[in-house]
Amino acid sequence: MFKAIAAATATVALALGLTLVAVAPASAEGASNHESYYVTPNTSEVCVKWTPPNDSTMSVTGASFSIPSGATLTKIVVKAGSVEANGGPEDHGYYTNATYKYPSASTLLDWTYVSDLRAQTYTFTASNGQGRALSHVIYCYVPAVVTLPASGSVTAHDQVCTEYEVVGGSLDVTVSHASWVIKDSSDTTVASGSASQNVPLGVGTYKVYFTAETGYGLTTDSPITVEITDQSGTCGTVDTPVTPAAQATDQTCNTEDLENTFKVNGFITVFTPDKIAYTITADSDGTHTAIAYNSVTGKTDLLEPGDYTVHPEAQPGYTLSNTADLHVTIAATTDPCRQEITHATVDPSAVQQQLGCSTDGSYTLTTDQLNPDAVLWTVNGSPVSAGTYKVTTAGSFHVTAAPDTALGFGFAGDAEHQLLSWDFTFGFPATCDLKTLALTGTNDGVPLLAASGLLLLLGVALVRSGLRIRRRDAAAS
């Protein structure tokens, strides 16, 4: 009886245990058997599942796994197909770069670092020390980063000595999809750029650093060390030939200020003034006084129109290819430039106020409050002063204004040195009638008085006539 119960209990326990073994790891086992379970997040890692050709395969080498050219193995997970009896990990993982040690916290997986995943031979050893056949292997890799080639090179040109001078001393920097920086022996940047270029430099040792553009990878070394050596021999044993030259710029009109245009004198320009000393004189000047010029630009100050002689002399280290004097001419402009106004300017005005039916007319002559005597006025040929003049009858007036040049005045702008004129015509409006004139009168008081007297006499006569008529009517009755 006891044995039967014990056997039954064992059977139940075994059944339960098998159930636990079969069910408990099902979810984990199901996930860990897939490649995606081992892909490290946020990377380009690719994982592949490899199944042995037979059930008795006990080992495999990392070199036997096929990965794309240029790719790098990141991890290998060896699986034996069942949970170990003593509860140990059912999978063994191997890695080289800890970035790809994923999943790192799984209780079903232990991790071992190896320096070279491809050189390793992989087996599965249980916790009891017994080897077990491989169920399958998950191996992962990252593809090679594809970049376009970028390159940089540099060629040094040493200083050389010619019969005239020291020349050379430069670096030819050539780049393709790269930028460059040149540093001297003190690590100071002396030049930089992003295109191929010849860089003049002195004697010394230099390092040229290259940086590839985004999306490109350097295929050449960086930095490259180069040296520019000193010239040898004696330099400048022969003077450098130079050719003297001079040019005249003619007189023109100043057009920057249209209100004050005037003539602008020309000038002379001598060339290579650092290599040739020039003596400039005016042919009309009997004293042959030298005219100065700018030692950098070679330009003289403004000069009057005329003929000039330019005598060249070579500076030390140079020889003239032509020793003859140069002759240049500054031509006078044929444009009648309006000369600059040098006197005070005024702007006169004349304004008319027309006659009204009952109001006087007028005209007002205005000069300048600060210069009341600057204008000479005339009205119908007679001189007058500035001011307001009343007009009471119809008529015409011709007004002129001229600047008093004797006092140094003139008119501004286009009216300069001109005679200004105005014509004013006065007349009563056509709407004015006799009644209005009778009631309002005119500027002459006599006609108004006569009209008033006439109206009074007419009134008296009418009154007397009325009295006589009434008296006749009374007598007849």
Distance between terminal CA atoms of the chain? 187
Three-state SS sequence of 168-226:
EEEEEEEEECEEEEEECCCCCEEEEECCCEEEECCCEEEEEEEEECCCEEECCCCCEEE
| Residue 11 φ then ψ, to 5° | -65, -45
Contact 284, 308 (CB under 8 A): no
| pLDDT, tens digit, 9 for 90 and up, residues 43-71 | 999 999 999 988 888 899 999 999 998 89
Question: Per the structure block, which two tokens stand in for 257?
Answer: 């200020």
DSSP string, 448-463: HHHHHHHHHHHHHHHH
Amino acid making up residue 422: W
Overall average pLDDT of the 133-158 stretch: 89
From residue 296, how far is each of 63, 239, 270, 326, 358 by CA, in Å? 75, 21, 10, 20, 80
The per-residue pLDDT for 390 is 94
> Which of the residue ranges 152-161, 256-265, 297-306, 367-376 would you say has the lowest mean pLDDT?
256-265
| pLDDT, tens digit, 9 for 90 and up, residues 445-458 | 444 444 444 444 44
Q: Which of 128, 121, 31, 130 is nearest to 78 (CA)?
A: 121
Quickly state the pLDDT bin for 27 (edges 50, 70, 90): very low
Contact 220, 241 (CB under 8 A): no
Give percent of the chain with pLDDT exceeding 70.
75
Quickly state the pLDDT bin for 257 (edges 50, 70, 90): low
- Is pLDDT of 395 > 90? yes
The per-residue pLDDT for 345 is 78
Quickly state the pLDDT bin for 245 (edges 50, 70, 90): very high
Question: Per the structure block, which two tokens stand in for 373?
Answer: 């005597």
CA–CA gap between residue 67 and residue 76 (Å, rounded): 13
Q: What pTM was computed for the model?
A: 0.31
Instruction: Report which of residues 236 and 44 the model is more confident about.
Output: 44
Q: How many CA atoms lie within 13 A of 457 on its CB side?
A: 6
